[in-house]
Amino acid sequence: MSLTNQKHLFDLPEGITYLNIASQSPSFKSVEEAGIKTVKEKSKPYIITASRYFDPIVKLKKLFAQLVKADDYNRIACIPSVSYGLSTVANNIKLNEGDEILLIEEQFPSNYYVWERLANKYKATIKIAKQPNTTENKGKLWNENILNAISNKTAVIAMGNIHWANGTLFNLKAIREKATVHNSLFIIDGSQSVGALPFSVEELQPDALICAGYKWLFGPYGCAYGYFGSYFDNGIPLEENWSNRLNSENLSGLTNYQTEYKPLANRYCVGEHGSFIYTEMQIAALTQLLKWNPVEIQEYCLSITSDFIKKLREVGCIIEEDEFRAKHLFGIQLPNHVNIESIKNRLQQEQIFVSYRGNYVRISCHLFNTKEDFDKLTKCFLSEIQ
């Protein structure tokens, strides 16, 4: 059964057209309720038991593991941000002089600076897989550029499932296969895809997957997730957090200092990751998200955007071809004669919220949006372009 509009699960006012989930998601009502409930719980700290710092974390990790099809929740770490997760990854990679780190052109800054530092540390090289200077077959050619850039020198490949600004879809399965041939680490930023696009750790076998929690995973700002593969099983965390050590649940024995961490990725959790306020909000978010099928989310987003995209292409706007773009997030390049400030002012007047990233007007939608939202958006664009 196909998904239908789910706006009733959100507290979005009538008259607001929100097409900017790629920047910040609205909360489910259930997430808001979980947050309010646990904020009130903090007002009565005498009712907070030791188990509150541990049991919900296990539940949360199991939910995220289920979402990304990872078979062991102990490979999931609760972290505060993508930059924290990527820094953890880079902190545990050793390179040789002359090794290459492969990135895609115009990658999000948090997924660039960390690799620049690592390259400088080991006198390695950043190699950029550039996007083709063409409007036809751009996604296809860009994927070919990425695959052609992988060689015996490639030590690390770090990228997203889609391009964060224009929605270009990358063939992670083919990239994983070539990375394996060349013994390259494959680090995926799932921030703009996991939750809205199908993703399987079992199929893609990433060495690490890092995801922001406040976009397509509907959690609060300041939460993120990391999956760490076997390469990182014995790594060094960024900080020494008491709760990541073996037997830390025994609060009366904390000064019996432990040399061992909890198994696998538990060592990489941020300090105070047991925050019951954030944890309960994240649990509520993932519980709802797992009721949906990412394939059906893509189908729904395609159904409400198709007419809009067709009409914009007819007046000279450039949008990645359907086969090589995500349906929940895509960028629009405007014709040269169009005044972008005029577009911004018109959308602001109509209370339509989008993003502006580089040369793109970025549109990101979900199940709370409707075809009528895009009919309204179409009128705004056409009035400024024609």
pTM: 0.96
In the chain, where does the domain assigned CATH 3.40.640.10 lie?
A: 45-289
3-state secondary structure of 210: strand
pLDDT at 358: 87
pLDDT digits (tens, 9 = 90+) for 156-195: 999 999 999 999 999 999 999 999 999 999 999 999 999 9
Q: Which residues of the chain have pLDDT under 70?
A: 1
> Residue 20: its pLDDT value, please?
98
- Give residue for tokens 């038991």: 49
Q: Which residues of 40-67 are buried (b: 16+ CB within 10 A; e: fewer)?
A: eeeeeeeeeeeebbeebbeebbbbbbeb
Q: What is the pLDDT of residues 28-45, one digit of tens each?
A: 999 999 999 999 999 999
Q: Where in the chain is the domain with CATH 3.90.1150.10?
A: 7-27+293-385
Tell me the pLDDT tens digit for each residue of 332-352. Answer: 999 999 999 999 999 999 999
d(CA 284, CA 35): 9
CATH number of 45-289: 3.40.640.10
What is residue 126's three-state secondary structure? strand
pLDDT at 129: 97
Distance CA 104, CA 229 (A): 22
Q: Give the model's pLDDT for residue 134.
A: 84
Q: Are 201 and 227 in contact (CB under 8 A)?
A: yes
CA atoms within 13 A of residue 170's CA, in its CB half-sphere? 29
Mode of pairing for the β-strands spanning 76-79 and 224-228: antiparallel
* Own/partner long-range contacts of 355-360 (Cβ < 8 Å, ≥24 apart): 355/20, 355/22, 355/23, 357/164, 357/165, 357/331, 358/106, 358/165, 359/331, 359/333, 360/165, 360/166, 360/331, 360/332, 360/333
Please state the CATH superfamily assignment of the domain spanning residues 7-27+293-385 in this structure. Aspartate Aminotransferase, domain 1 (3.90.1150.10)
